[in-house]
Amino acid sequence: MKILITSILATMLVLSVQIKLVAQTKADSISTVFPKVLVVNDQKQVLLYYDTNRKAYEVPSMGTIDGPISYKSYIDSTAKDMGIEYNSLRMGGLFTYIYPKAYSTYIRPYFVIKFTKYSNHIGLADSTYKWFSYKDAVKEIPYPASSLIVEKILFQPKTVWGATFEEYGYTSPVDRTKIKFKILEDFFKLN
């Protein structure tokens, strides 16, 4: 038995030496996670953020996930920064944005939280946030992929969605005519 175990261990050692293990390379690290948080209320409204640089409303986000943080902590921090509290959280979809000339990919999970109250008990403390009806929010968002994503998530909420887009050419302020957009993988169900 000892000979068999020794023989197996020796074989495993030889195999592990023959397999070339490499560290993660730059090419392996091209996907950045950039979550978005859709805040909805009981009046079928969604909270959007006004980007003063791009002069456009968009789905709120705190930017990319950098360092050790969970999605829940990320969403809690986003809600705190917005000055709101929420009582439910769900995944709306997981989307891929590909930037062909930059050799990079953004992974964009869209989360949906249900607004319960303002942290200050009065209203939105930051004027860069504004409530929109679902229909108006879809029209207001100038980014084609985000507008389509928001429409799918808000009007078909029982489905968790996926899709892949190519979208680039953003300007400040946003000029919709300069944005290059293509659906690479149309919407599909993830649940």
Residue 32, beta-bridge partner list: 106
Within-domain flag for 4: no
In this structure, the strands spanning 104-118 and 36-40 are parallel
User: 32-54: b or e for each residue (b if 16 or more CB lie within 10 Å)?
Assistant: eebbbbbbbeeeebbbbbeeeeb
Within-domain flag for 179: yes
Sign of the torsion formed by the C-alpha atoms of 85, 68, 24 and 103:
positive
Can you give the pLDDT at residue 7?
A: 44
Residue 18 pLDDT exceeds 80: no
Within-domain flag for 8: no
Within-domain flag for 21: no
Tally of domains in the chain: 1
Give the pLDDT band of residue 4 (cuts 50, 70, 90): very low
Give the pLDDT band of residue 14 (cuts 50, 70, 90): very low
What is the domain-level CATH number for residue 113? 3.90.79.10
Within-domain flag for 89: yes
Within-domain flag for 2: no
Span 50-67, mean pLDDT? 92
What does pTM read for this prediction?
0.83
Over residues 158-190, the pLDDT tens digits come to 999 999 999 989 999 999 999 999 999 999 999
What range does the domain containing 155 cover? 30-189
Within-domain flag for 9: no
User: Does an H or E element contain 138, and which?
Assistant: helix 134-140
